[in-house]
Amino acid sequence: MRFVERKTIYFEAPGKQNTESVLELVKNYAQAEEIKDIVVASTTGETGVKASKIFRGFNVVVVSHHVGFQEPGVWELKEENRSKILENGAKILTATHTLSGVERAVRKKFATIMPLELIAHTLRLFGEGTKVCVEITIMAADAGLIPVDREVIAIGGTSRGADTALVVKPATASRFFNLKIREIIAKPRNS
């Protein structure tokens, strides 16, 4: 019988207080397993700045909310953080969320739910960060910013900061069911 034994960290509560721990855990894992591609969610850019610093020399893709996510015409990524992320050698991806997009508008207008949001809600059974990790991995793959032929690490969170990290075999949206969550590095126990 062949198996791999790994340690998974479970945080008692979700939230940004876990960010530094998640980034350190991911750095150790990435170095040990020689993973060079890191995808990280960042709304204001604060987590993106931290990740772009700690992962210098890696292919880091910081995925922000699309413009207008909270308020029409507003990009939540702060300019000073955007500049720091780019100075640190990371890329920034701002795009429509893969697991909502136009379907969110349909839900709001007609009070119904469609397949993409069903998938998102199912992933949330494992925590908000798990849904975020899957979504940003697909978005980065769709943009051609990460490979789809090798594992990457995705970092996401609940509201602000990072509390979840997954090892993922990426896929593009059109090949969604080829995406594989290989390992959980860290996640909150309670959501």
Closest listed residue to residue 61, CA positions, set 163, 170, 178, 187: 170
pLDDT (tens, 9 = 90+) of the chain, 191 residues, equals 899 899 999 999 999 999 999 999 999 999 999 999 999 999 999 999 999 999 999 999 999 999 888 889 989 999 999 999 999 999 999 999 999 888 888 888 999 989 999 999 999 999 999 999 999 999 999 999 999 999 999 999 998 999 999 999 999 999 999 999 999 999 999 87
Q: In the chain, which ranges are continuous DSSP H helix?
A: 19-33, 46-54, 79-87, 102-110, 115-123, 128-142
What stretch of H or E contains 39?
strand 37-41
Is the residue at 49 inside a domain?
yes
Dump pLDDT digits (tens) for 109-160: 999 989 999 999 999 999 999 999 999 999 999 999 999 999 999 999 998 9
Is the residue at 14 inside a domain?
yes
Is the residue at 1 inside a domain?
no
Is the residue at 4 inside a domain?
no
Sign of CA pseudo-dihedral 66, 71, 77, 79: positive
Q: Which two tokens stand for residue 3?
A: 């198996």
In whole angstroms, how far apart are CA 179 and each of 87, 124, 141?
Answer: 31, 16, 10
Is the residue at 37 inside a domain?
yes
Is the residue at 50 inside a domain?
yes
Q: What is the pTM of this model?
A: 0.95
The domain that holds 13 is classified in CATH as: 3.40.1380.20
Is the residue at 171 inside a domain?
yes
Query: How much is the CA Rg of the chain, to the nearest whole Å?
Result: 16
Domains of the chain: total: 1
Enclosing domain of residue 120: 9-188
Q: Which two tokens stand for residue 21?
A: 């721990």
Cβ-based burial of 189 (10 A; exposed 0-12, middle 13-18, buried ≥19): exposed
Is the residue at 3 inside a domain?
no
